Structure formats: C-alpha cells, structure tokens
Chains A and B, each alone.
Chain A
Amino acid sequence: MNPEALDVALTMSMLLHAKPMDEVHVMRKVVIDGSNTTGFQRTAVIALNGSITVEGVEVPIEQVTLEEDSGRKTGDTKTSVIFRIDRLGVPLIEVSTGPVIHDPEQAGKVAFAIGRILRATKEVKRGLGSIRQDLNVSIKNGALIEVKGVQELELVSKAVGYEVQRQLALLEIRDELRQRNVKASDIKEEFVDITDILSDSESKIVQSALNQGGAALALELPSFKGLLKRELIPNVRLGTEMAKRAVFWGRVGGIFHSDELPAYGIDSNHVEEVAKKLGCGDLDGFVIVVDSLENSKDGLRAVVERAREAVERVPEETRAANPDGTTVYLRPRPGAARMYPETDVPPVQIGQDRLERLWENLPRMPEELAKELGTNHSLSPKLATQLVDSDYLLLFEQIVAQAKGVAPSFVATILTESLRSLQREQVPVDNLQEDQLRRAFDLVSKGATAKESVIDVLKWLAFHPDGVAEEAVDMLNLRMLTKLDLENIISKVVESNQTLVQENGSKALGRMMNLVMGEVRGRADPRQVTELLRSRLEQVRT
C-alpha cells in the first residue's frame, strides 16, 4: 500500500475526528461494469466513528476508506463501453457520513464542509471530478438509492431534490397501479413474437435488427396505460427506467412502449395489431424490443422485473448523476457479499509512531488557515476565506512569493472573484494552467504589463490553452509603453486640445488625464501618466 496515500488518509481521518484502525485490511470490492480492469476495486477501512460540526449540527463520519479510483467512462456504443484509464488506481479517500442529513440544502453544506477539510491537507488534486459526491438518498416508504458521480458541489442539493421527487412519483404510480388492482404476479414473463407485424415498419432500428436475423418481441403490461409516460423527473419517465434496465441486462439499444406509440416508424396499424395479438384491453400497455432473439428476451425479462417492482416498491438502485442533477439507472445496488479479502496485499499495522508523527504535522483547518493568510498578507477575512475554499491556495502562495511588488490582495482577488466572474461570463477558466497564471502575474511584477491587464490576459489564455502570458500581452496589445512612447502620446493629446489647456490651466489636468488614459489604458501606470502629463502641462504654460 502506498505509504503516502495512507498518511493522507490517516491525516484526513484525524481532521474528521475518526479513530484510525490498528491494522488496515485491504478488501476487493467486485465492480464488473468495466471501470476496473481487475474486476474489483481495492478498498480498506482506515478509520471509524468520527464527526464534524456543520453550522452547529453534529454530523457523524461513519467511516473513512482508502480506495483506488476507477477508470472514467468516456462513452459507449450499443455493445461496448469506453473508459479512460489514466485515473485508474489513483488513491481515493472515501468519507461516509451517517444517515443524519435531512434536507437537500444540508447535504450540500456537509459536502462543502468535508471538501474544505480535504483541501486543507493540500494533497487533493485540483479540478472537476477530484472531489465527487456519492449520495445515499432514502425517503419514507421509498428505497435507499446511491447516486454516483456528482462532480459539482452545487449539484448535491439538486440531485437529492430530484431523487426525492423521483421516489415520490414512483410511489404515486405504485398506488395508482394498486387502485387498478394490479398485482406483481399479473405481469407474466410471456413474450410474443411480433416480427411479422413489424416487418414492414419504416423504423431504421427495427429494419436493421430484423435484417440481421433479429426478432421483435412484445410484452403486455396489464393496466399500465398512461403510466409509462408519467414523468418522474425531467426527461425520465417510467418507460425510461424500464428502457435503462433493458439496455443494462439485455444489451439492447432501447425499448418502444405503448405510451409513446405510434412514433419512430411504428404506425397506428402496427400498434393496433400488436395490442390485438397481445390481447390488450383499454387500460393495458405494452413494451416492444427488437434485437437478436437472446438480447430481446433478456431485455424484456428486465422490463418484467422493473414492472413488477413498480407495483410493489421503489427498487434499490445505484444511479448515475447527469450534469443537470437528474439521474439514470446505472446498476443494481451491491451488498456486503461483493467484498472479499485482497490476498496480494498484506495487512498494514498503523503503529503509534506513525500516528504521533502525523498528529504533530496535522495541517491547519480552513478557519485557522484563513486567519493566518489574512494576517500574513493583509487580506480581508472574506477574501482569505474565499482563497482557502478555492483550488488556488497553493498557487497563491507561490505567486506571492515569486511576483515581487504585486499586492497579495490583488492576486487573491484575481484568483477568486475575478475568475469566478469570468466563469459566469462563460469564459472556460477551467482551462487555465497553473503555469499560465504564474507567468501572467510575473509579467506584472516585471512591469511588462499593467495589473489592470491581467484579467484580459487570463481571458485570452482561457480560450488559448496552449498559449503563454507573453503571447497574450502581445496579441492584446497590452505591453507597457516606454516613457518615450508615453511622452509622445501625451504631446499629441495636449496639442490637439490646445484650447482646453489654455483656458483651464492646471485645472485641465483631470480632463486631460481621462483623454490620455483612454488611449493608454492597460499599457501605462496611471501614476506615471499623471506625472508626465503634469510636467507637460507645466511646460505648455511657461
């Protein structure tokens, strides 16, 4: 086991007031979605029973584990899933809170608080996805649902909200099915071959599957009419839930359900004939799958299971978060049975010496850190806190040490407020490399560009991820003017405004200043401009 990763996990545990284990045992957790090439993820409990206080409420930290990260899914086709494995095996710390979070906003706050403590170790990778939230959401009469891959903090409360909404909608559907007197046993695993009915369909999906020797199978869903199209959360209907199951278990491209037909090249005649062949009544629905016979059968079996669950309960699932906070079915929820010992890694004894060493070097907590930053660099408490909560604390310290003569508060403002407002303007600030940022401030420090130009430089760099700050300064014409250049410009402006100067004398300075700055803004230090302009005006008068 990587000793540094273990140290970070132990440090993290101490910050969360969790008790480290005496001996760490590595387990294999079976993961067969392809995201781990070994088919299992190695994971170990590092500490138990911690707690943190978030806005006066104590939140138990049940467990801190050290795991290896999985591959990142980058796409899929009908028959394969594509993963990037550059993240595979990177140490990952999992912090599990107790089930004491009662509303979506609180969930967001707790996630934020844990993220701050994680960052305090200064060992957390910067960028999207380096801190992810897996949410366990359950409601009364609902089920425990694990939502994976919430990458942005802002999404936590939204995802929780949607999940609550989805479970409530499923319970409503269940009650409605019960009112219609449907029992799970009424949904029969009987698939009817309707290949002949669909053989003249104009649907490309149907035609291509049938041309490859596939079959069109249909399944009756008694009394489901109208419920399949019931929206649970935006863009997720009961039919969608069934489709995702069919895709997962049957390797099919999708399903057609009666609430969305006629459409997709299946016309009303087809629908009528299928309903007739299945013996559907007015309230009955049906599902069609067109694929190889084996896949179609597996797909419909999954639909049967999901339909039976719809009558009985909200099924326990692991779901994946979409960027908008809605979720889709990912896989069934695994239990403790998928854990078994990793025999290739011997147990690691932690030992008192190690704990003492880590204890003595415990990083300061965010509040302390902010206070210290404020004092050392004369930052306002607000700015210092923002900096601690940003991804740029380390970079800030480097820049301030390196770029002499640039005010720390200026650096801090750019790295926090300015970048955030650029982001709001849809500037892709995530593209900015640390080196680009460092060099931009360097140029200010050397006097090659004005500090007013930094934002424009960064904006340019965000759109040119391969560019360097020097290039940005030249491209944007933001290089500082020499004294001679400045004097020439000032002379010109003074000459073309002779009357103004003559009439107002030294009082013309303010207005003249505006005119000159209009030409040289971003390329000259205003103090220098004032100085040169004043002496020029003196000259003109004498």
Chain B
Amino acid sequence: MTVLALEGYHGGVLQKLRKSRAKIGSIIRLTSKSGEVFEGTLIPRSEYSDPTHIVLKMKNGYNVGISLDRTEKLEVIGEGEKPHFTKPSPPANHAGLSKVAIISTGGTIASRVDYRTGAVQPALTAADLASVVPELSSIAKIDTHILFSEYSENIGPTHWKGMAEEVAKKIANVAEGVVISHGTDTLHYTAAALSFALANIPVPVLLVGAQRSSDRPSSDAASNLTGAVALAARADIATVGVAMHRDLSDHIIVAHQGTRVRKCHTSRRDAFRSINSNPLASYDLKTGEIELSKGVAKRDKSRKLVLESRFDQHACLIKFYPGMNPGMIDSAVSTGARGIVLEGTGLGHVSGHLFDSVKKALKQEVPVFMTSQTIWGRVDMNVYNTGRDLLNLGVTPLEDMIAETAVVKLMWVAAQTKSAGKIRDMMLQPVAGEMTSRTLVEAS
C-alpha cells in the first residue's frame, strides 16, 4: 500500500527518515536544537512540497511541519495503528426492487477518507456504496462496475465510446436504468456524446457527479447519487440525462436532458442548468416523490437500442473575442478540421476582419457553424448586417443548440460521413433533442 512508502518526501528529509527506519504512520519524536520536543504520527507530504520539512500529526489531531534544519534528533518511538478497512457487509436484498447499473468512470462521488492521512480512496463495490450511501439499497438493486478512473478533463471520445458500449451491455442485461458516475467538469460533453451515441433507448441513462467531494460534510455526492439511482429506477423517462441538485438545498435532484445541459458555475451544487429547456424530471429527497415534465420520452423495454459510438476528433470549437487573430480559423483548417463551430457574440456574429478566413474555410469544404457565447437563447443571423453577411458567406446557424453540444455532435456526425454537405445536413437534423424550432419559456 502506498501509504507505507515515504510518500512525498525527498532530498535530505527522505534520507534522514530512511536512516531512522521511519515509515508513514510511525510515531516519531523530534528534538530540536533548542531542546523542544515534538511527538506525532509521520504524515505523507505533498509531492510538490520542499525537501526540508517533516509533517507530524500531533495527538490532538493537528498536523504541523517541522524544519529538518532545526532538528537535532529524530527517533521512531512506536508504530502507529496500521490503516485498516473493514469491508462492509453486502447490503440486504429488498425484494421487488428495480435493477440499476452503476458505471463508475472517476470523480469523487463515492469515496471514503482515511482520517489519519486524509487520503481519499474510491469506494465502489455494491457493499462499499451501500455503506457510504445506505439509502441506495432500499431504492434499487444495485449492480456496480468500475469502467475506468479518470479526472473528467481527461475524458474524451475514446472514453465516450467505451461508456456507450458498456451502457448497451447493461441495458441488454435488463437493467431498468443506468447511472454513470463522472467528474463534473466535462460531464455535459459526455452527456451530449452518449445522447447521440445511444439512439432509441428503452430506459433512462443518467450521468451523475458531485460538486463537492465526499470528504466534505457539505458534499452533494450522496444526495445526487441517491436521486440519480431513484430516477433511473423509477422515473418513467427514457433519455440520456444528467442528475444533479436543482438548487442550493439538499432537497430536489433534477434530471436534465443530456444535450441541453451545461455546467454554469465552478462550485455551486446547482452548477448544472438546463439551457433553453426545462429539466425532464425531479426527485424529492425527503418524500421520494418523482415529478415528470410534459412530453418526455417514456420507458419502453420493447424498444431496440441503436448504438453509433464513433466520434471523429477533427472538429473544432472556436470562441470569438474582440481582437481575435483570424489565423486561428486558418490554423484549424490547416490542422485538418472537418468542421468548425464558432461561438459568436449575441445573435451569432463575428467581426468583419474574420470574414476572409471564414470564406477560405468554406472554400476548402470545411463547414462553419454558428452558436452563441451568451449560452442562453437562439442565434438569429437575419437581424443585423453582420449576420446576413455571414449567412451569405455560407455559415450555418445552429438555432438554439449549445456550443458544447454542437462540437460533440460535429465529432459524431463527422465520423459518419466524408461529405461536407452531408455533415451540414446532419448537423441541422435534430437527433436527441439538441435543437428545437420552438422557443419555450423556461421555468426559473
């Protein structure tokens, strides 16, 4: 186990600790040159920290760092209690519950903290989960699977493919619903990707994350997971979605449509918002009640899943800003972009000094699409001259599609056809609710 190595120590301190046969967890006594005595458990050190301090956890629980320069004597006076973990017993099986598959891809949604060292360890067997979130075993029969363990910023098209295939397997294995735990930063990109990759799904597939890791009492991990599992097990919906907090309170977990959701805050629990749409369903953590929005796709186990999980990474998302170098667009084209999504200003504009580069791209059969950096709303390029000019050049507006969803869709579309014209047509054809022609009033 890594905790037993002298984790994070290097240089002079590492030598000194080795010489004294100290290990992480040993009880150490340091005597300083001025005669002060410090006693405590040796604690691992961050890998980026300097090589001159030793970290001890004192008896009262506080950690302190003591400089090696000041230390006269270092003795190991005892061995601390070895970190141990008693495996929780498997959860009781409640008869008659729906089967829900939980696929883990990383993030800290389900983890436990070693209070001695503060290390966070993933917990994802059914038994672990039941011990961390005991509510789950009374909501559904859980089947867990660790697909991989990645920070969400490292997740990309290859992972999406793997997830889509795993979901297909779980659905074939008659799960009533699938929950995927995922880091939150790129959760909405994955949600869009799976929405496109999994067509005609019979049951809900809900991605879930935590804005605050489970080592914090304010964590939303357990409540989000509970809500996601409950919605996957019981909500009469059949869509790829994202299940997270509706607002700041631990009260309602909502499922957003996978193609219409975006992370809109760095840290709040309600960071995920339905854009240009309303959530599909909500789960009340207190009463267990589920409410559905009107017109959502219903479950139908007779439906046959269609898997199309290829993505071509040669898609590009470029955000316009005043003073932008037109060479950015040229360089996207020259590095092989098969399509470009522009995140324009307002109703869908970019500065006139980019027109030449846009023209060049279109001439080289690289379709250019327009979305808006305002996040909410619909592009309308017929209102101002610049919009009309861009339309005239051949730029394709993407209605009310979110920019992030658009670039994911572009990857998916580009994997299916070689023709620029076909790419353009497919981008305009709604596949998974990513785009609508009617603008609805959003519930606040």
Interface residues of A (CB under 8 A from B): 19, 21-25, 27-30, 32, 37-40, 43-45, 48-49, 63, 65, 335-341, 343, 346-347, 349
Interface centre among A48, A49, A63, A341 (most CB of B within 10 A): A341
Among candidates B46, B60, B62, B218, residue contacting A37 with C-beta atoms closer than 8 Å: B218
* Given the contacts A39-B217, A341-B118, A336 and B61 also touching, CB distance less than 8 Å: yes
Among candidates A22, A43, A335, A346, residue contacting B53 with C-beta atoms closer than 8 Å: A22
Would A349 and B217 count as touching, CB distance under 8 A? Answer: no
* Given the contacts A37-B218, A39-B216, A39-B217, A49 and B36 also touching, CB distance less than 8 Å: yes
B67 within 8 A of A: yes
- Closest A residue by C-beta to B32: A19
A67 to chain B, nearest CB (A): 11
B55 within 8 A of A: yes
In the bound complex, residues from chain B placing their C-beta under 8 Å from that of A45 are: 58, 62-64
- Closest A residue by C-beta to B48: A346
- Closest B residue by C-beta to A21: B64
In the bound complex, residues from chain B placing their C-beta under 8 Å from that of A44 are: 62
In the bound complex, residues from chain A placing their C-beta under 8 Å from that of B55 are: 23, 25, 347
* Given the contacts A339-B61, A340-B118, A23 and B53 also touching, CB distance less than 8 Å: yes
B65 within 8 A of A: yes
13 further interface pairs, Cβ-Cβ under 8 Å (given A23-B66, A335-B61): A24-B64, A25-B65, A32-B217, A48-B64, A63-B62, A339-B61, A340-B113, A340-B115, A340-B118, A347-B46, A347-B53, A347-B65, A349-B65
Interface residues of B (CB under 8 A from A): 36, 38, 43, 46, 49-50, 53, 55, 58-67, 70, 113, 115, 117-118, 215-218
B250 to chain A, nearest CB (A): 12
In Å, the complex CA distance between A45 and B58 comes to: 10
In Å, the complex CA distance between A533 and B59 comes to: 79
A65 to chain B, nearest CB (A): 8
In the bound complex, residues from chain A placing their C-beta under 8 Å from that of B218 are: 37-39
In the bound complex, residues from chain B placing their C-beta under 8 Å from that of A63 are: 60, 62
In Å, the complex CA distance between A400 and B295 comes to: 75
In the bound complex, residues from chain B placing their C-beta under 8 Å from that of A19 are: 36
Q: List 26 A-B contacts (CB under 8 A).
A: A19-B36, A22-B66, A23-B53, A23-B64, A23-B65, A23-B67, A24-B64, A25-B63, A29-B61, A32-B217, A37-B218, A39-B216, A40-B216, A40-B217, A48-B36, A48-B38, A48-B64, A49-B36, A65-B62, A339-B61, A339-B115, A340-B115, A340-B215, A346-B46, A347-B65, A349-B50
Would A341 and B67 count as touching, CB distance under 8 A? Answer: no
In the bound complex, residues from chain A placing their C-beta under 8 Å from that of B38 are: 48
In the bound complex, residues from chain A placing their C-beta under 8 Å from that of B113 are: 340
Among candidates A30, A337, A343, residue contacting B118 with C-beta atoms closer than 8 Å: A343
B284 to chain A, nearest CB (A): 17
* Given the contacts A22-B70, A32-B217, A349-B50, A336 and B60 also touching, CB distance less than 8 Å: yes
Would B65 and A27 count as touching, CB distance under 8 A? Answer: no
In Å, the complex CA distance between A339 and B117 comes to: 10
* Given the contacts A25-B63, A45-B62, A337 and B49 also touching, CB distance less than 8 Å: no
In Å, the complex CA distance between A37 and B269 comes to: 13
In Å, the complex CA distance between A335 and B53 comes to: 26
In the bound complex, residues from chain A placing their C-beta under 8 Å from that of B66 are: 21-23
A344 to chain B, nearest CB (A): 10
In the bound complex, residues from chain A placing their C-beta under 8 Å from that of B216 are: 28, 38-40
In Å, the complex CA distance between A49 and B53 comes to: 20
In Å, the complex CA distance between A38 and B65 comes to: 25
